[in-house]
Amino acid sequence: MAESNVKVLGTWASPFVMRVKIALHLKSVRYEDVEEDLLAPKSELLLKSNPVYKKIPVFFHAHNPICESLIILQYIDEVWTTSASTILPSDPYERSQSRFWAAYVDDKFFPALRRLVIGATEEDKKAALAEVVEGTVVLEGAFGELSKGKAFFGGDNIGFVDIALGSLLGWIEVIGKQCETKLVSEAKTPRLVQWADCFSAHEAVKDVLPDVDKLADFGLKLRAKILKALAPTN
Amino acid sequence: MSKAKLVILDCWVSPFCMRVKIALNEKGLEYEAQAEDLFGGKSELLLSSNPIYKKVPVFLHDGKPLCESIIIVNYIDETWSSPPLLPPCSYGRAQARFWADFIDKKVFDACGNIWRSKGEVPVEAKKEFIEILKQLEEALGDKDYFIGTTFGFVDIILIPLTSWFFALEKIGGFTVEAECPKLSNWMKRCLQRESVAKVVPPPEKVYEFVLMFRKMQGID
């Protein structure tokens, strides 16, 4: 069903925006895609609809703005309820486990990935790389627990943790190429490697994950912008 | 292993543990709080049930461990539905989750920038802390509680952190009441609730703890 009052303010390159789009595709909800240029000054719409963080994604439903990707995912799951595609499990304990691992991705794994890109010294980058690799091993373990032998963290279908982690796959590949390492390796994390393939090929995902070369090119420009902002001013 | 069905691995001064205990009290649930000695050595139970972060609180429901206070409070709300801690409408719930997440991302670290500082507290640290409180005060508006007329999720997430404010005021030389009077009134309102009063320690006791911790860390 076409929804005229559903809008996503974001950019094709942001994994946090990808999460929202994957969730909407999963629920078969049509939306208006509004592109924010990360290399340009922030738009009026962004500043007005997310005054606290001034960040994408912002999700609009009937003109109400909702911010923070994992919160948006929970909103989408609660509003569009079709039994075929739930994002969080229905059992409260399993829901808490899904929330825990999605929070781990955001609070531990992603910051380590980010430090790998913007680390100032070789030592910083080496430490960040070790953290990222350790993180993948921890997530391999989590996959074993949550998937219960099925293809996804969510079981038979993709769910909250799949979307939280899977949205990072493009950047994981780009950053890995820059470091000349496979961050999600067959040797250490064979199940994650298989999961990554299944996730990327999923109907709700394949049109959302961007082309890796295009992402790499954008990454260089974004990195330059971030480093410039972090540089000490004299 | 305790025979109690609901157990919390606890520390009396941890605002994160207080959140869980308040939520349990709101639901009228009996539980056992097992005190962890965070300085003497964490228990085997803590280390095995929270291997990723090795932190309190850990909530055990029939032996099944849950970690991270906001996740635990959500679990308690979803497992024992009365009274509800989140509003019924999805947009209201999203707003509640947003502010709970904001509190977690911003408040404790900003507190740390004040109580962990050696010598004079940097002006920037005080300014940042007050700005964060003012943002919360704006979200509260003229309502009695963050979600309108009933005590709920966001109140539970924030009120424990306010037990540390007296210590910050003494160390930083400011008062929350002067800077954020509406928030200050909200604090008093929440502290009158039995579920909260039973759990939140006297601010002077927290201040003593902070001073002791500063000495231990070589800050004082």
In chain B, positions 126-155, which contact chain A (CB-CB < 8 Å)? 135
Q: Give the domain A92-221 fold.
A: Glutathione S-transferase Yfyf (Class Pi); Chain A, domain 2 (1.20.1050)
pLDDT tens digits for range B8-52: 999 999 999 999 999 999 999 999 999 999 888 999 999 999 999
Q: Which residues of chain B form beta strands (DSSP E)? A: 6-10, 32-35, 58-61, 64-67
Which pLDDT does position A1 carry in this prediction?
A: 44
**Per-residue pLDDT at A53 exceeds 60:** yes
Chain B: closest CA distance from residue A222 (Å): 24
pLDDT tens digits for range B178-205: 999 999 999 999 999 999 999 999 999 9
**Residue B87 CB burial class (10 angstroms; 0-12, 13-18, ≥19):** middle
**Per-residue pLDDT at A132 exceeds 80:** yes
- Across chain A, what does the average pLDDT equal? 94
- Give the Cα-Cα-Cα angle B48, B51, B52 (nearest 5 degrees): 165
CATH superfamily of B6-79: Glutaredoxin (3.40.30.10)
Report pTM.
0.95
- Give the Cα-Cα-Cα angle B166, B55, B159 (nearest 5 degrees): 30
pLDDT tens digits for range B119-163: 899 999 999 999 999 999 999 999 999 987 899 999 999 999 999
Chain B: closest CA distance from residue A212 (Å): 31
Is A78's Cβ below 8 Å from some Cβ in B?
yes
Of A71, A75, A96, the CB nearest to B101: A71
Is A29's Cβ below 8 Å from some Cβ in B?
no
Residue intervals in chain B for CATH 1.20.1050.10: 90-217
User: CATH for A6-79?
Assistant: 3.40.30.10
**Per-residue pLDDT at B167 exceeds 90:** yes
Is A61's Cβ below 8 Å from some Cβ in B?
yes
CATH fold match for the domains A6-79 and A92-221: no
Which pLDDT does position A225 carry in this prediction?
A: 85
pLDDT tens digits for range A183-229: 999 999 999 999 999 999 999 999 999 999 999 999 888 888 888 88
Contacts of A96 in chain B (CB under 8 A): 66, 71-72, 74-75
A84 pLDDT band, cuts 50/70/90, is: confident
Which pLDDT does position A2 carry in this prediction?
A: 44
A83 pLDDT band, cuts 50/70/90, is: low
Is A137's Cβ below 8 Å from some Cβ in B?
no
CATH entry 3.30.360.10 includes domain B90-217: no
Instruction: Report in angstroms the alpha-carbon separations of A152 from A87, A95, A195, B173.
Output: 12, 15, 6, 53
Contacts of A61 in chain B (CB under 8 A): 91
Nearest CA in chain B to A102: B71
pLDDT tens digits for range A133-171: 999 999 999 999 999 999 999 999 999 999 999 999 999
Residue intervals in chain B for CATH 3.40.30.10: 6-79
Which pLDDT does position B220 carry in this prediction?
A: 79
Distance (Å, whole) CA A158 – CA A23: 10
Which pLDDT does position B104 carry in this prediction?
A: 95
Q: Which helix (H) or strand (E) holds A165?
A: helix A160-166
Is B97 in contact with A61 (Cβ distance < 8 A)? Answer: no
Which pLDDT does position A4 carry in this prediction?
A: 63
Is A96 in contact with B72 (Cβ distance < 8 A)? Answer: yes
Q: What is the mean pLDDT of residues B108-124?
A: 93
Contacts of A104 in chain B (CB under 8 A): 52
Is A99 in contact with B52 (Cβ distance < 8 A)? Answer: no
Q: Which of A53, A78, A80, A96 to mutate to test the interface with B (most CBs of B within 10 A)?
A: A96
Q: What is the mean pLDDT of residues B51-67?
A: 97
